[in-house]
Amino acid sequence: MANGVGRLDLDGRPIKPLTICMIGAGGFIGSHLCEKLMTETPHKVLALDVYNDKIKHLLEPDTVEWAGRIQFHRINIKHDSRLEGLVKMADLTINLAAICTPADYNTRPLDTIYSNFIDALPVVKYCSENNKRLIHFSTCEVYGKTIGSFLPKDHPLRQDPEFYVLKEDVSPCIFGSIEKQRWSYACAKQLIERLVYAEGAENGLEFTIVRPFNWIGPRMDFIPGIDGPSEGVPRVLACFSNNLLRREPLKLVDGGESQRTFIYIKDAIEAVLLMIENPERANGHIFNVGNPNNEVTVRQLAEMMTEVYSKVSGETAIESPTIDVSSKEFYGEGYDDSDKRIPDMTIINRQLGWNPKTSLWDLLESTLTYQHTTYAEAIKKATSKPVAS
């Protein structure tokens, strides 16, 4: 089926091969999406990014059956005159480019706002002016805090889904005060969503907005000091993986009380492919893409990852597997957090018939097996002390 012959959309119509301009194709999500498009569809990808390490295996010339269907263009969309030409060459543009690491939101708020709003403006403009469809990647952070988080701690309504489940068409976007710079990201992402939506309403732009809820899997983020900066702070999964690989305690920010839902990258990519291939069902919609069944507190996630890592590595866990740190100590001044993030799945289910499949245990096992296989040796080498001769 690699050539995609005879594939039909959800309404039984043959799927025509598309040319897709993918901005941010070299990142975590981009690499998995490119892989899916190469192995299971006939579509062609113009892959735009600054780096291509995560998609190198797809770019080897002449060795694979999709040679010629993926072209890498080394482009920083900030200031590259080639961008509009590439958008024009494609039927559809997918924009994945973003700074999306919470550690950057209050230490680099200007970069965060520029990369997520200003740099995305030309992409929206070129799609609108050239009548090209746009799938824009936003974030579940646009919801901010839940309504329930403003109720007293022991209030019974905190347990009522109406007060915490996040719905694309109903839930408000609630952010902290301006001095809480953590919300610089969510605010920039919300404003670009409003702009995309307005282009649709005023100028007929065909768009789909994706709000990912913690997509997890191989090739996510980086391991500090190995394939990323030593002082870098990636997102929670890579942070915890790094601690496990180095046999250090996992740092729980403010007691690890925040609740999150996690979804396996391969489940999420299925949803994106349905959006790509069913424009009539996806256009004009905002979609939550997450797994409401995989909810845990960050503390529970740490405990579960410790257990799973022991299983995949064959090493016993260290004596004190977690340590509490304050958010000020970990992230610096101006940090704030969402209490709980559970996606409502009604719209994506109705429009695309999609549901996530992979349990949290299984996705952690798959991801940590990858982390262990990929990084354990490199970390041993990096941490072994040179012996004096």
Residue pLDDT, tens place only, 56-85: 999 987 667 887 899 999 999 988 899 999
Sequential DSSP letters for 355-366: -----HHHHHHH
Amino acid 329: pLDDT: 63
**Which segment, 96-110, 185-199, 303-317, is predicted with the most confidence on average?**
185-199
Active site residues: 185
- In a domain? residue 307: yes
Cα dihedral sign, 235-236-238-244: positive
- In Å, how far are 224, 250, 293 from 227, measured between CA atoms? 6, 20, 32
The whole-angstrom separation of Cα 114 and Cα 116 is 6
Produce one character per residue of 33-59: b if its CB has 16 or more CB atoms within 10 Å, e if not: bbbbbbeebbbbbbbbbeebebbeebe
Average pLDDT rounded to a whole number, residues 249-270? 90
- In a domain? residue 30: no
Residue 269's domain spans which residues? 98-378
Strand-pairing partners, residue 165, are: 342
Average pLDDT rounded to a whole number, residues 344-361? 97
The pair phi, psi for residue 45, each rounded to 5°, is -125, 130
Average pLDDT rounded to a whole number, residues 37-58? 95
Continuous H helices in the chain:
28-40, 56-59, 83-89, 102-107, 109-116, 121-129, 183-203, 236-245, 265-277, 279-282, 298-313, 327-331, 346-352, 360-383
Give the SS3 label for residue 207.
strand
Q: Which residue has the higher pLDDT, 159 or 217?
A: 217
- In a domain? residue 242: yes
- In a domain? residue 210: yes
- In a domain? residue 85: no
Q: SS3 sequence, 223-239?
A: CECCCECCCCCCCHHHH
CB within 8 Å of 209: residues ≥ 6 apart: 135, 136, 138, 193, 196, 197, 285, 286, 287
The pair phi, psi for residue 210, each rounded to 5°, is -110, 130
Average pLDDT rounded to a whole number, residues 368-387? 79
- 113's tokens: 């706002």
pLDDT of 389 higher than 50: no
Average pLDDT rounded to a whole number, residues 126-149? 95
pLDDT of 108 higher than 90: no
- Please provide the average confidence, as pLDDT, over all residues in the chain: 89
- Residue 1: band (very low, low, confident or very high) from pLDDT cuts 50, 70, 90: very low
For helices 298-313 and 236-245, give the axis angle rounded to 10 degrees.
Answer: 40
Average pLDDT rounded to a whole number, residues 141-170? 90
- In a domain? residue 134: yes
172 contacts 166 by C-beta, under 8 angstroms: no
- In a domain? residue 22: no
- 51's tokens: 């780096």
- In a domain? residue 67: no
Sequential DSSP letters for 123-187: HHHHHHHTT-EEEEE--GGGGBS-GGGGS-TT-GGGGSGGGTEE-TTT---B---TT-TTHHHHH
CATH number at residue 354: 3.40.50.720
Angle of CA points 379, 380, 381, to nearest 5°: 90
Domain count, the chain: 1
